Chain A
Amino acid sequence: MTFDWPTLLPLIFAGLMGLAILIYVVLDGFDLGIGILFAAAEDAEQDTMIAAIGPFWDANETWLVLAVGLLLVAFPMAHGTILSALYIPVFVLLVGLILRGVAFDFRAKVPAGSKHRWNRIFFLGSLIASLAQGYMLGLYVLGLDVGLGGIAFGALVALCLAAAYAAMGAAWVIYKTEGELQRKAVLWLRRALVLAALGMAAVSLATPLASPRIFDKWFVWPAMLYLSPLPILSAVLFLWLWRQTFHLPKPDDRHALTPFLTLAAIFALGFAGLAWSFYPFVVPDRLTIWQAASAPESLAFILVGTVFVLPIIIFYSFYAYRVFGGKATDLTYD
């Protein structure tokens, strides 16, 4: 493999897109998870939970726009193929995101009497969006197969991703709240973890079985050895976090952020496994990143801007999180 620009640019953009997806899943994961947990929370708790994500959700969702945008601009062929194959799930995802996004604002501005309706819409939107994302992941892993088996597997992954998001949401609530709600969130986390672990195991098993190419990539010596840390480490982290849920919250609120960081690490490990399996394909077994890529001059034009702007984006995102650091209090327009 030669290292010239037409070879390197699609590779760089695949990396950027992967990074955007991972950041999206981790960040909007806890927003969506909190939406799902809305069903289990009291009215006053719901306000606190919203306050824990209100200033951030918009920027979090922007990572999805960037991921889809990069797919669109860097791999236009793949964008069309993947999204028209997933026409209905994408539509369901969008409806979920629309409902979730507007409910955020409506619930705070409508007359008090209809607030509960928007709370329910917030829950439904978050749940629908999470399920749709899981379903799409399931189909993608099976090579966009929409047969009966594909649908069943998609449904399983949908449930498990929703559970994983709920776990993220619970972990974020542990970090951002205190007292009764925090203790409740620990219980939520414990229950959601079981389903999340099940889902990750299912995807890990299905990925090599669905594609002989990936099977060969996994189960050859010595690649197996290099890969083994991914599943082992994930399993260890899951078990450790599950045990931790029996000791949280700790005195003086120590380690309140640990569950969230652990889950983020598990997501990253799982994502690395998927990336390793599918490379170099962007549409499984059909289109490689080089076949689907835009013209090098267009990619170069975007890359120049990205190199300058992305660090700035990450910098001010951190700043925004810092401004709203600490425990969440009631969110008011001031």
Chain B
Amino acid sequence: MDPLILSRIQFGANISFHILFPAITIALGWVLLFFKLRYNATGDTAWMRAYFTWVKVFALSFAMGVVSGVTMSFQFGTNWPGYMKTVGNIAGPLLAYEILTAFFLEAAFLGIMLFGFRRVSNRIHTLATVLVAGGTTVSAFWIIALNSWMQTPAGFEMRDGVAHATNWWAILFNPSMPYRLVHMLLASGLTVSFLIAGLSALRYLYGDRSESMWKALRTGVFTAAILIPIQIFAGDQHGLNTLEYQPQKIAAMEANWNTGPNVPLVLLALPDEAAKENKFEITIPDGASLVLRHSASGVVPGLNDYAGNHPPVFPVFWGFRIMVGTGVLMLVVSWSAAFFLKRRHSLPRPLAMLMVPMALSGWLATLAGWYTTEIGRQPWLVTGVLKTADAVGPVAGSHVALTLAIYLILYVLLLIAYLGVLVHLALKAAKDGDASPLPGVMNAALSQPAAGE
């Protein structure tokens, strides 16, 4: 079999599995800090119970993220040696800074955050939470900077076929970087708030009316309700940025085959790349021109301008629609839930039942969005610099096929185990309610017994 397509599937599978967990830990760190600060301010132990329920999810997600991230750092070398040979001078330092400024910080203070509550002062424990949350966010900064540079490269020159840095500031803050970073951080916030809201709704359905459940539920629902309109706006701005720097990606996202004015907005269709047309399309007249150019006669780029140099249309078109559709659903669900929590101080059963599967809506939207932007960059690995096909290594297709199969089995099993543990933790918390063991409170010496023991 073809090592190129197998290596692509393998890296795609790895990075798809990996992103699920940073999407949780980036924002969950800050949510944990919020729980911790509320506890510090009010002394209400329900906040600390919520903290201890969710810190377990954080620990597990962090471990899953670490092991799948380590895998990727090796795969650059095993499967994509051409990538580092061509752009290693740019990608290398960004990855190195991620390790130096984020990985060690998170890893060292995670231990204190998880197991150190009775071993360090409350203040140091809060500080450890801040450092872990900050570490995950800094980590996201470096990775998004590198990814954005691959989309919209800047600040470098080519010498003998190898990229050399000329301006690190321009490399870091390349044209699409600020938009992508904001979009991803908000995506993480939404992933976590829906996860917390969904698992809390599960506890609610099982009859749990404890204070810690209410606190987590409200935090999840209100955070989601606030973030989703901001995300819709940020996503729109990101799209306009893509229109400016990667018009061929926009053409594929909109399945627009011909450049011109008065382009309709294709809501749903089956794009047919061979025939260069859409089958079964539902459109809004002049819609795409209005959305992208704010005028019915605005010219929208079409795929005919980029023959042989544009991404595959079908996955990009549908990836984008799944992301947007999930976003709209998130808006409806989070605003209804916020309304009921604010006005009625309860949750209608059908809404709670809808919120449980919506716990994973953030994952779906995040994956669909990344598929849109990453497949949308093809056939380039680094836009205009390196084609994906030129980066693949000399490994035999059979080797890649074998490892791919085992990775897939492993990832599916781990994902099932992970979701099983999430549900198990939620149901256990529902059963314990506010009777779960109280955490200790201390500002003094080591190993002091916890309150309530």
Contact = CB atoms under 8 A, between A and B. Distances in A.
Nearest to A331: B115
B83 to A, nearest CB: 9
Interface residues of A, number: 66
B95 interface: yes
Interface residues of B, number: 74
Given A66-B99, A80-B85, A310-B100, A98 B67 contact: yes
A76 B395 contact: no
B340 interface: no
A235 to B, nearest CB: 35
A76 B92 contact: yes
Nearest to B447: A329
A324 B78 contact: no
A111 B424 contact: yes
Nearest to B80: A80
Contacts of B63: 58, 101-102, 104-105
Interface in A11-70: 54-56, 58-59, 61-62, 64-66, 68-70
Interface in B399-430: 399, 403, 406, 410, 414, 417, 420-421, 424-425
Contact of B117 (A74, A104, A334): A334
Interface stretch (B38-46, B54-62, B177-185): B54-62
A109 interface: yes
Contacts of B103: 62, 65-66
Contacts of B81: 79-81, 83-84
Contact of A109 (B107, B109, B424): B424
Contacts of B261: none
Nearest to B442: A334
A38 B399 CA distance: 32
Contacts of A87: 78, 395, 399, 403
Given A55-B116, A84-B395, A87-B399, A297 B165 contact: yes
A306 interface: yes
B68 A98 contact: yes
29 contacts: A54-B115, A55-B116, A58-B66, A59-B108, A62-B99, A64-B70, A65-B99, A66-B103, A69-B99, A74-B92, A79-B76, A79-B84, A83-B81, A84-B79, A90-B74, A98-B68, A101-B67, A110-B417, A110-B420, A110-B424, A294-B88, A295-B162, A298-B89, A310-B100, A313-B108, A317-B104, A331-B115, A333-B55, A334-B115
Closest 8 CB pairs of A and B: A80-B81, A73-B92, A55-B111, A83-B77, A76-B88, A76-B84, A59-B107, A101-B67
